[in-house]
Amino acid sequence: MKVKPKIVGNVIKSVNPYGCRQAVLNQINYVKSKGKYAGPKKVLILGGSSSYGLATRITTAFGSGADTINVAYERGPKSPEQLGSAGWYNSIFFKQFAEQAGLIAQNFIGDAYSDTMKQRVIEYIKNEFGGKIDLLVYSLAAPKRNDPRSEKVWRSVLKPIDQSMTGENIDLEHERLFTETIAPATPEEIQGTAKVMGGEDWEWWIQALKEAHVLADDFKTVLYSYIGPQMTYPFYHEGTLGVAKTQAERSAERINQELKPLQGRALVCVSTVVTTKASVVIPIMPKYMIALYKVMTDEATHETPIMHKDRVYREMIYGKHPIYDPKGRLRADHYELRPSTQAKTAALYQQINADNFKSPMTGYAQFRKEFLNTAGFAVDGLENDEFEFSDLLNLKP
């Protein structure tokens, strides 16, 4: 059988399993082309099945020779009409490639927010993973979180605060530019977004791992964040997601106190914007992205998730060129926020309209291709994307 992209709004509802395999292989080959670096050796990634999390897993494994654990909530195939999620196949094929290279690659499929999952992972580290980890990466992005301590279900929203926001967005299903207005978040929605996308669960993971004595000396932990330029502040940095990321920065401060006995460190890594399942549904963000992509491509600084995270770990976290701001955040977004880059992006943004947004004057073609890549479609190097459904059932994470 063969699958075509099924796009609803800005979400791909279908998946090309062997396109996912090729996409993982392409990322591995990119890291290999850069050579080895001295980085972590035992890595736990929360949310390591796609985008930044998967890219982190690939660069630490194939760049630094790390054994890796991934915890992610993904869906497997149920029928020819329900083939599961891209992250399911990313995790499976990464494991295959890693094991072929002689590396340990363990996948835990389930709720990373749960205490049960924390204990399962801890037992695995103790009994089958060498006893300690030297890096934990927190890369979870979810619409909701089941809080095991209050038994409350928290939900996240992508909304401005205090006032409505009106702007132009891109509908990827119908390939049209349209104007939308986003109502401000309620206090409950602000709190819920902070609970889901903030740092509370990150803290709980560190506490559980420390109490279990499975953190190595000089242990590092990284949480991914985004700030962006001032033009995106109303619907991101000053919106509900911005509140959540600010809360995560306070969590980093507390975690750093926890890690002092180990001489460990917690970092908030402010990343560049890339095309992910999450970023394409942020209100108004896609129009900014197609302007930015054009400018950064022309400047030879545009990055995909693997290009960005390989640079972050190779050159910054385990390299000699970290960039920190006064708040101690690692600023891996310095290409995106160059004043000259932002000036060109802002000028182009103003020129983009419903008639020209798909033209070569913008980065729309690159943006759409990367969007399709997230589900295994339009992947470079894929020669055969036909498969038997029965073969998918034999793939195990």
CATH of the domain at 83: 3.40.50.720
pLDDT tens column, 23-36: 999 999 999 999 99
pLDDT tens column, 167-188: 999 999 999 999 999 999 999 9
What is the share, in percent, of the chain residues with pLDDT greater than 90?
93
Q: What is the mean pLDDT of the chain?
A: 96
- Asked if residue 194 has pLDDT above 90, the reply is yes
pLDDT at 284: 87
Cα–Cα distance for residue pair 333/226, rounded to 1 Å: 8
pLDDT at 235: 82
What is the biggest distance separating any 2 CA atoms in the chain, rounded to whole angstroms? 60
Q: pLDDT grade, residue 234 (50/70/90)?
A: confident
pLDDT at 298: 98
Neighbours of 190 (CB within 10 A): 18
Q: Supply the range of the domain harboring residue 201.
A: 5-377
Rg (CA), the chain: 20
pLDDT (mean) for 113-136: 98
Q: Tell me, yes or no, whether 394 lies in a domain.
A: no
Q: Tell me, yes or no, whether 396 lies in a domain.
A: no
Q: Tell me, yes or no, whether 34 lies in a domain.
A: yes
Provide the domain count of the chain. Answer: 1
Q: Tell me, yes or no, whether 395 lies in a domain.
A: no
318 catalytic? Reply is: no
- Three-state helix/strand/coil letters over 268-318: EEECCCCCCCCHHHCCCHHHHHHHHHHHHHHCCCCCCHHHHHHHHHHHHHC
The tokens of 300 are what? 């030879």
Q: Tell me, yes or no, whether 118 lies in a domain.
A: yes
The tokens of 283 are what? 């209100």
pLDDT at 283: 83
Q: Tell me, yes or no, whether 382 lies in a domain.
A: no
pLDDT at 223: 98
The residue type of 214 is: V
Of the residues 52, 113, 224, 236, only one is catalytic, namely 236
pLDDT at 381: 97
Cα–Cα distance for residue pair 397/389, rounded to 1 Å: 16
pLDDT at 151: 86
pLDDT (mean) for 59-86: 97
Q: Tell me, yes or no, whether 310 lies in a domain.
A: yes
Task: Answer yes or no: are the C-beta atoms of 296 and 302 closer than 8 Å.
Answer: yes
pLDDT tens column, 83-108: 999 999 999 999 999 999 999 999 99
Neighbours of 177 (CB within 10 A): 19
Cα–Cα distance for residue pair 196/147, rounded to 1 Å: 9
Q: Which residues contact 90 (CB under 8 A, 6 or more apart)?
A: 20, 23, 24, 49, 50, 54
pLDDT at 88: 98
Q: Tell me, yes or no, whether 386 lies in a domain.
A: no
Cα–Cα distance for residue pair 396/287, rounded to 1 Å: 38
pLDDT (mean) for 136-153: 92
The tokens of 303 are what? 């990055």
pLDDT tens column, 311-369: 999 999 999 999 999 999 999 999 999 999 999 999 999 999 999 999 999 999 999 99
Residue 93 burial class via C-beta count within 10 angstroms: exposed 0-12, middle 13-18, buried 19 and up: buried
Residue 383 burial class via C-beta count within 10 angstroms: exposed 0-12, middle 13-18, buried 19 and up: exposed
pLDDT tens column, 147-172: 888 889 999 999 999 999 999 999 99
The whole-model pTM stands at 0.96
